Structure 1
C-alpha cells in the first residue's frame, strides 16, 4: 500500500523533534592533580646541640706551703670576694720559723753595729799613725761580712713572714666555689688542689661537636636557650674549638661565649645551642614526582591564575632520596603539580587537589 507523502513528512518531523528533545551529554570533568605550594627555606636546616653552662675561667687554688689543714671556711656554692679567707693551715711551725728569723736579724744587726764601730775606731787610729793598713783591711772585711749577714737575715725574715701568710688560702677573684678537695685534719703538700673557684663575670656554653659538623659550628651563627626558660634566647659566639677529638667519644669540644648572660644563667644548667648556617642558600623542596622532562631539562607544571597548568623550566640544586631541591624557576606561594605531572598538556583543564603539608 502506498503511504501518502504528507504522512511521511509528518513522521520524519516527529522523529527529528524527538531527537532534539533528548538531553545533551554533560561536559567531561578536568583531570585531577595534586598540587603543593612552593616555600623557600635554607638549604641546610639549623643544627641544635645540647650545651652545658660553664665558667670561662675556673681556677684551682692550693696552699703555697705544706702543712695540716686547721679549718675550711667555705663550701661548694658559696659566693666569695677577692682576698676572702677560704681555708687555713696550722701555723705553729711557721710562727716559730718567723720568730727564729727575727732573732737572726737582731743578732746580725748587733754584729754589724759592733763591726762598724770597730772600723770607725781603726780609721781614727790609722789617721793618727797608731794602726796599720793590714788591720784596717781586716776590719773592713769583717764589717762587709756583717752587712751581708744582716741582709741575709732580713731576707730570711721576709720569707718566713710570707710563708706564715701563705698558711691562709684567700680568693684571688670574685666568684663562686665549685669544688673543695680538703678537709680539716688533712695534711696537704704544695701541689695539692684545695679549692676550685669560678669567675662569675664570664659564662660560656660547652658542646661536643661531631666531625661532620665542625665547619657548620665554625662558620654558623649561634644562639642559646636554657631548658629552664626556652622562650628567651641569648647570642653566643664561638670562642674555642678543640684541635683534636676526644679519644672516647670522637667529638670535638667547642666553647661559646655568652656576652649577655644574666642572673638566670647559672653554672651547670643545661641549654640548647642552635646554629644557623651563615648566608645559607635558599631552596624549594618538592617531591621527585613533580619533575617533568621532555628532553629539554627538568621542568615543573605550575598552576596559573586561570587554574591551567604551565610547564616551567627549573634549576635543580640537588636530588635527594625523595625530594628535589630547586633554586630557580618557581616563586614562593606558587602551586606546583606533584602527582599527575606526566599526563598533563599545556592549557589542559585540571581539577586541583591541595596536598597536606606537615
Structure 2
C-alpha cells in the first residue's frame, strides 16, 4: 500500500510540472508573437529616405534634338579656265582669302601674243570698213549725178556691210583673247579659307583637271545640316512661318556649345529609308569653332510653353491605372496622386493635371514606397524642380 501511494505522488508531481511548462511556453509564445507583430508594425511605419522635388510653374523652352554635320556656306574648287604652264602660286594654304585675291598665275605670254594678233586684225578690219564706207558714199554721190549705175552702189553697199560683219567677228575674237589673258590670273571667286595646294608651279594646268588648284571654303558664315523625324515637319513648318527659329549646336559629346544660329531651309523631300527630314541652319563663325565636316549635336528651339507646371521626369510613375506621382503630404506621408502628363521634355515633365505649384513629389526611392508610407526628407535646394536628398 505505501508503495502504490508513492507512485501516485510521483505521477501527480510530473503532471503538475508538465502543466506548468506548457502554460509557460504558451505565455512565452504569445509574448514573442506580440513582440514580432510590434516589430513588424514599427518596421512598416519606419520613415523611408527619399529624394523629392518641388513642382514649379515656369516658362519651358521646347527643343528638338538631332545630329548634324557642319558644311561650308560656299565651296568652290578653283580650276584654271585656260590651259597653260603654272608660273606661280600666290596663296598660303589654310589662310583666309577675299574675293578677287590672286591665287595663282599662268604664263601670260601666249595669251598676250594672241591678244595683240587679234587687235591687229581688228585694226585692219576697221581700216577696211572706213575705206568701204568712203567708196559707198562716192558711189551714192555719183548715182545722184547720174555718173554711176545702181549696180555700182549695190556692190559698194555689199562690200561695206561685209567688212562691218568681219569687224564684229574679229572684235569678238579680240575680246576672247583679252578674256583668256585675264584668265591667266586665277583669283578667288569667294571669301573663304584655302585648303591644300593641289598642283605645284611648273606644271601644265587645264580646265579639265579634276582637283583644280585649290579648294576654297567659306566658313563665316557657316552651315549645319541635320535631320529630324518627319513627324515633326508640321510643327516646324508652322513655327517657322511665325518667325525665325534659333538653333544651338554642341560638340559631339554634348559638353560644349559651339554656336547659336537660325534655321534657314527645310529640304524639299523626306528620306523614305530613315523617315527623316533634312534641315539647314546658318551660324556666324568668327572664332572658327565650327569646321566643315565636323559632327555635332543640334537643338532646335521650337517654341516656349509659358507658365507650365514642371517636375523632373523621374517623378512620373506608371501603373495599371495610368501615370501617377508620389505626393509628400505635410505630415511626411506619401499619397498616390494620379497625374496627366502633357509632354516629356528632356529630363522634365510638363504636368497638365493632378499637381499644383509648390507640391513635393518623390523622384528617387519610389521602389520602397506604398500609399501612406512615412518618408524622411531633407531640403537640398536648387533651381527648377527643387531636389531634396535623403540623409
TM normalised by structure 2 equals 0.63
Aligned to 2:3: none
What pairs with 1:130-145 in structure 2 (closer than 5 Å)?
Answer: 130-145=147-162
Asked if residue 66 in structure 1 is aligned to residue 83 in structure 2, the reply is yes
Distance in 2 between the 1:43 and 1:263 partners?
30
Q: 1:334 aligns with which of 360, 371, 378?
A: 360
Contact kept, 8 Å, 1:284 with 1:327, in 2: the verdict is no
* 1:303 equivalent in structure 2: 328
Which residue among 244, 260, 263 is the counterpart of 1:238? Answer: 263
Superposed CA offset, 1:10-56 (max 9, x none): xxxxxxxxxxxxxxx99974712534424569999967656554421
Q: Is 1:31 equivalent to 2:45 in the alignment?
A: yes
Q: Paired residue for 1:87?
A: 104
Query: 1:188 maps to what in 2?
Result: 206
Count of matched residue pairs: 318
Q: How does 1:41-56 map to 2 (within 5 A)?
A: 52-56=69-73
Relative to its length, the structure with more helix (as a share) is 2
- Counterpart selection for 2:190 from 173, 191, 216: 173
Q: Is the 8 A contact 1:63 1:166 kept in 2?
A: yes
**Does the Cα contact within 8 Å between 1:178 and 1:196 map onto a contact in 2?**
yes
Label 1:214 to 1:167 Cα distance change in 2 as closer, same or farther (>3 A).
Answer: farther
- Aligned residue among 291, 297, 311 for 1:267: 291
Asked whether the 8 Å contact 1:83–1:170 carries over to 2, the reply is: yes
| 2:327 and 2:335 in contact (8 A); partners too | yes
Cα distance in 2 for partners of 1:133, 1:125 equals: 10
TM-score (norm 1): 0.68
Alpha-carbon spacing, 1:37–1:104, altered in 2? closer, same or farther (3 Å) = same
SS in structure 2 at match of 1:265: coil
CA contact (8 A) 1:204 1:255 kept: yes
Shift of the 250–188 alpha-carbon distance from structure 1 to 2, 3 Å rule, reads farther
In structure 2, the residue corresponding to 1:57 is in which secondary structure?
Answer: strand
Match of 1:203 among 216, 222, 243: 222
Alignment of 1:114-153 (within 5 A): 114-153=131-170
RMSD across aligned C-alpha pairs, in angstroms? 4.6
Change in Cα spacing, 1:40 to 1:134, as seen in structure 2 (3 Å) is: same
Partner of 2:375: 352
DSSP-derived class of the 1:77 partner: coil
Which SS does the other structure have where 1:147 is aligned?
A: helix
Q: Matches of 1:288 and 1:105 in 2, distance apart? A: 87
Contact 1:115 1:143 in 2 (8 A): yes
8 Å CA contact 1:291, 1:341 repeated in 2:
no
